[in-house]
């Protein structure tokens, strides 16, 4: 098995936007494209309250979480001070206009995290 998996073309990711990559286990991965066409990948989960980073606003090499506006660095996953925390980062390669992610990381990083559930988690009797 190849260590690198093609997930999409760079042009499939909106400039200053994101695309989600489904994995066999664990939460999705968000692949971001900055205005300078650099591409980054983070777990699609803010380290604060689990907000979907793929739905945040990309500016420079950062993304603002859509839930509480935490700023997360795309290159490291680190929250900008004064906030503290780190989103899981995935290695990215660009080959002939294609975005590749490390298959080993896709299969192992943060796979034990439960999927996020929107809406009520349980009914009150």
Of the chain, the percentage scoring pLDDT greater than 70 comes to 90
Residue 118 pLDDT > 80: no
Beta strands, E only, 36-83? 39-43, 57-59, 62-64, 71-73
Kindly report, residue by residue over 40-76, the tens digit of the pLDDT: 999 999 999 999 999 999 999 999 999 999 999 999 9
Mean pLDDT estimate for the chain:
92
Q: Is the pLDDT of residue 120 over 90?
A: no
CA angle 6, 72, 95 (to 5 degrees): 20
Name the band, by pLDDT with cuts 50, 70 and 90, for residue 84: very high
Rounded average pLDDT over 32-38: 97
Cα(63)–Cα(70) distance, integer angstroms: 8
> To 5 degrees, how large is the angle CA 70–CA 73–CA 76?
130
Element (H, E) at 7: strand 4-9
- Residue 10 near residue 37 (C-beta atoms within 8 A): yes
CATH 2.102.10.10 is the classification of domain 4-108: yes
């Amino acid at each position: 098995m190849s260590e690198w998996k093609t997930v999409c073309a760079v042009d499939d990711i909106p400039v200053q936007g994101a695309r989600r990559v489904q994995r066999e286990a664990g939460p999705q991965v968000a692949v971001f494209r900055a205005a300078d066409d650099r591409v980054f990948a983070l777990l699609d989960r803010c380290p604060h309250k689990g907000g979907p980073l793929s739905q945040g606003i990309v500016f420079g090499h950062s993304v603002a979480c859509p839930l509480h506006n935490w700023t997360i660095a795309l290159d490291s996953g680190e929250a900008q001070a004064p906030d503290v925390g780190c989103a899981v980062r995935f290695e990215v390669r660009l080959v002939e206009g294609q975005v590749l992610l490390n298959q080993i990381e896709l299969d192992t990083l943060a796979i034990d995290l439960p999927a996020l559930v929107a809406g009520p988690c349980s009914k009150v009797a």
